[in-house]
Structure 1
Amino acid sequence: MWKYQHQLPFGIGKGCFLDKSFEVICNYSGKYPKAYLPGINNLELLDIDSYYEGTIRVNFPIISLKNSSNAKGVNLLGSPFIFSNISNRFAAIGCDDYDTVDINNSTVSGGCLSISTCDPTSKRGCYDFLCALSPNITHIFNADLSYFYSQNISQKCRSVSVVEENWVGSKYLENPRVLKQQARGIPAMLDWGEEIGSCFEEFSSYSTICGDRENGCSIKLSSGYICRCDAGFYRPHGLCSGTLLCISGHNCSKCPYGYFRYPRNSTDCYGGTAYYSYFTRKSRVKYIIIGCSGGLGLLFLLVGIWWLYKFVKRRKEIKLKQKFFKRNGGLLLQQELSSNESNIEKTKLFTSKDLEKATDNYNANRILGQGGQGTVYKGMLTDGRIVAVKKSKLVDETNVEQFINEVVILSQINHRNIVKLLGCCLETEVPLLVYEFIPNGTLYQYIHNQIEEFPITWELLLRIAVEVSGALFYLHSAASIPIYHRDIKSANILLDDKYRAKVSDFGTSRSVMVDQTHLTTKVQGTFGYVDPEYFQSSQFTEKSDVYSFGVVLVEILTGQKPIRAINTDEDKSLVGYFLQAINENRLFEILDARVLKEAKKEGIMTVATLAKRCLNLNGKMRPTMKEVAFELGGIRTSTGASILQQNCEEIDFVDGDISGHSLETGSSSTGMSILNSSSAFSIDAHPLLSNKWG
């Protein structure tokens, strides 16, 4: 009985053999069960030799000639099996009257056995002869003797067959009549595989048959090859390292995918390594798919990591903005806006992204001016408005409530000669303020750096003085909540496109209660403009703004800076120099040439006298801004300004509007400044664009 349990690639039952050629069926009808190969003429399977030898032993039928030299035999076409030329012999049986047979053009007499050459050397009355199997016999064995040999065998020979050489040596020589006694067949050897190298393959369910762990698996490769996964290398879900066999009878002249010939001229195939380039075609496709999938997976992983990074970063930015917004008084400002529904649109809360986009991410080319308290950038909002964005350097966290109060108040100021605060951004570390953009520079530039293209006239200077005084009068008296500017100077007086004055820089401004007469604060301001009384007492009053405005009047009259750059023993302070000249009746010696040329003497004396009163060391002796404004207005009338123009400007003294109200605090602080530039402002050569312009 054939022991089939561990003889891969052969097997009994569906799924237990590699393909139909290796299917084995059992016949239990006799005393002992017998194994058959239905794929090759239902030959009885006697034994399977070593897997590495690639041979099996079958019971080969004896073919009767029936008085003919041609009879059908065994056909192995379509299977991996071939007749073994090495292990088999051709047998002619029952040649009783045979005397001389011509085989391969050699005369053979006596009909006696010669296994090696089929050339009998003795006449011992033998009835059979055996010859080496013709190399032409591979898949088909028919009893067409003339096909295999040069001449027909005598018809006296009753039968022919293929017989295993080892069986002949052990059985036939002992009993020469044994061939005739084997009625049901004689043992023959069939080749089905030849070991040609090692292999390293992956499993796939449709091409693999596996036994137990001791016998491993057989893997069918490309046509003509099998890889046996040896015991000890068995991997149920991985790769198999084993022996590569070329299935006999198939086209094994080329190495299968995954194997190479080495050396170059060798005909042997050697197993590939674990590198993907040596895998089979199916393996390569699979690994390409795995590689692509892995690549896509890695790509998705990287995208996921990037998205997660952006998400976490975005969350941190949002939390940081919320932190700054709360610290900078955003909640308080929102509460104030919600309690003044009519003023909600007057104070806009800009986002940090809005202002980053407006200023081209705070590009250095957008800088309009830099001062001690911050930097001012030119920007364009999405609606096309040109604005000035003030980025402060410092923030006083202890005065958040006062700052919000001041923002609300300043944003509601509506006066033609005061720079309009459009809104703010509280999402940044320091608050950002957004003002209307004033294009034509400062009064300081026109006085001290005279521009030939637009020489400033006495009439224009006087008009600017009237407009500034009217704006300060409005802040001090006409507004519902008095505001002290605290930093009046020519550099903070801007000129718009029509050269109208615009008071700016409320960085040190304070709002006060109506019944309050002064503020006690840390001394702040610009040297040369600061009220000496405020400098000594730290108490700022509305008369301190009057003193600073008096210095501006002296600048207009003399054309000199508040601190004179001289190397003589004369007073370096412009105020001291001016007062000394008046006391010595030398006023006209220190006046600016254009003032002397264009102004009337009476007008000059009136303005100089008003400036002297504003510069009185005793604040109580100084005029109020209301008095200053009306006196300057009268001077303009006397110099010939049109009645219509004068009437319009008089209205401006009280025509401003501030409808908001102060929070419950006595003083407040913005801690911000605006437009402190040393050069004339002009529209950029490359203006910022809004979204709708691309």
Structure 2
Amino acid sequence: SDLLWLGAVPVVLLWLGAVLAARFPLLGAASPQPSSQCQRKCGSVDIPYPFGIVHSPDDDDGHCAMNGFGLTCNDTGIDDGGRHRPFYDDVEVVGVSLQQGQARMLNDIFYYCYNTTTREMDSSGSSFRWLDFAGTPFRFSDITNKFTVIGCETLAYINGHDGRNGDDGDYGGKYMSGCVAMCRGDDVRSTLSNGSCSGIGCCQTAIPGGLQYYHVEFDSAFNTTEIHNVSSCSYAVLMDSSNFTFSTTYVTSPAFTNNYGGQAPFVMDWSIGNETCDVARKKPGSYACVSDNSDCFNSLNGPGYICNCSKGFDGNPYLRDPEHGCKDIDECKLPQLYHCTNGGVCRNRLGGYDCPCKFRWKGDAKAGTCIDHFPLAAKVVVGTIVGILIMVIITFLVILHKEKKKMAEFFKKNGGPTLEKATSIKIFKTEDLKSFLKKNKLIGSGSFGKVYKGLLENKLVAIKKPINGSVRENEQFANEVIIQSQVIHKNIVRLIGCCPEVEAPLLVYEFISQGSLHDILHSNNNKVLSTWMHV
């Protein structure tokens, strides 16, 4: 074949012709808001405004669709289970994306096959087929779609020239490209490779932006007459390349058309009007981005613009209705989409969310990089200190408990219960007298103990601390203390109280400031103790 030298390289021919004035009107211009009664689903496909279900593509009754975006919801018949599917004219629509400004549709796979009965080549209806979106808001996506050709002796052309009037819609000129797919050698199967679409059994080529019309044509000089027992058919279609993976069975069997049900998906970019965002905003009566918290973006494939909800909002930017327009996203309820992990605290706000690290942590919780602000070494030190403090506190409590238990035992042993019943003697607690039992308070000592000076209830007292073992125990001691406290004589120091909570009970006396009893009894003055001398 004369074109065999082309190999895996797509044949691209660009014919520059006269540029004709654009003939389509301002399709996609904003219209009044749709009625709430408009149908928003056809079969399993959601139909968001500016799209809408109408009786015909040009019908805007009820303002269900913006001009140029009307779809029909057709019953596809009993053979299809009586299901309803949306169509744009005669092209089936399988999905609409407001955010991307795209519609996903189905395109017939064109074939060119050897007929063993007639021994001639047959094609889809005729030697070429077309799709025409000229005069609509739609353009074939040059990013997503690729012209795909499958076969072993195949050359197919994609032509953007409309032979009826020489106008290619938005694309300002005539366009033609081609793809050749060949198989080397006598053994066709040995040359094919799954997943590879680089000219051996499969070929793909890109299309230019702005294209609204195309037709496909097979070159009759390339046919499967000689190899029909191995590969009888060639195929060509403009399709979504992201949805395609080549299989060698596509060349040797009808698997390609069978897998796609005879129709391959392709993507159409759409836009509102033919003005930029800056120009459209100055015309509030026709500006389509009417929802609060919506933004305008210029089309990347031809003139016009699309609308999106602002960052942090979700809904339909083409609707004023606050219920269905752009609404704030509560990111905290969607942790799988909006991350706030590793110690973060999620807080929703209008148009976004905050995710600070929790207390004493630092970093970025959205990125999952929160780390403890308290280093491990500090934790170890603090933990050790806290542990020691806990041990000290526990030890103190144990000692305190033992002391209280011991005081209770001394109290009982020293006749405390009996002393409590006496009205003439006062019972003191250890803590009441402890502060006086110091060296600087000592006023005397002897074989029976030591005497300390103190101030109790604004009265000076003498506190006697007997030597251990010098005091009788139990009831006898208690009775003697009670009797002594009842003795009131001008020459005898009065016993005020007792502390039985220690091993050797403490005795509290009146304090005499004029010497010892011996000094008073044997003094030359021989004075009687006056009451002011007894504190």
Shorter chain as denominator, the TM-score bin is 0.3 to 0.5
Please give the TM-score of this superposition, normalised by the length of structure 1.
Answer: 0.30
Greater fraction of residues in strand:
2
TM-score (normalised: structure 2): 0.38
Larger radius of gyration: 1
Q: If each structure's helix is expressed as a fraction of its own residues, which one has the higher value?
A: 1
